[in-house]
Copies of this chain bind each other. A is one copy, B any other.
Amino acid sequence: MMTFGSLTEAYSQNVSGKWINELGSMLVIDSIRADHTIQGRYLSSSGVDGKIFPLFGFINKIESGNIGISFTVHWGEYGSITSWTGYLSSNDADPYIKTMWHLVRPQEENEWERIITNSSTFRPKVP
């Protein structure tokens, strides 16, 4: 899709793998393609009965900045969708992905109750 620049293997290595957030949910980034798309899986610690969901996302990186990242999970029969948007920290000694997210629950009757927000900080899963 995007071909304005190639991602070095190093960037891919920085982002790929297993990450855990404050509430114990796990983000797995399986692959980053040359078109800057991400494939992976998400295992939420709450609300979806321990099921694993596929995720789809993007990364972006230009010369002078950090890595931006976004990914989305479609919660299937639960009826909702969550989009995370954030960045990879530039500190190699303490890598983390800081994200803000929006979760839409379209089945809520009141419009003002449909969108939930919060942040998640993902750190590498210790094997």
Q: How many copies does the complex hold?
A: 4
A81 interfacial by beta-carbon distance below 8 Å: yes
A25 to chain B, nearest CB (A): 9
Interface members, chain A 1-59 (any B CB < 8 Å): 1-2, 4-5, 23, 36-37, 46-47, 54, 56-59
How many A residues have CB within 8 A of the partner chain? 60
* Shortest distance from the beta carbon of A57 to any chain B beta carbon, whole Å: 7
CB-CB < 8 A to A114: which residues of B?
Answer: 86-87, 118
Which of the listed residues A47, A67, A114 has the most CB atoms from chain B within 10 Å of its own CB? A114
A20 to B18, CA, bound (A): 29
Please give the residue numbers on chain A whose beta carbons come within 8 Å of chain B beta carbons, in ascending order.
1-2, 4-5, 23, 36-37, 46-47, 54, 56-62, 64-70, 72, 74-88, 98, 100-108, 110-119
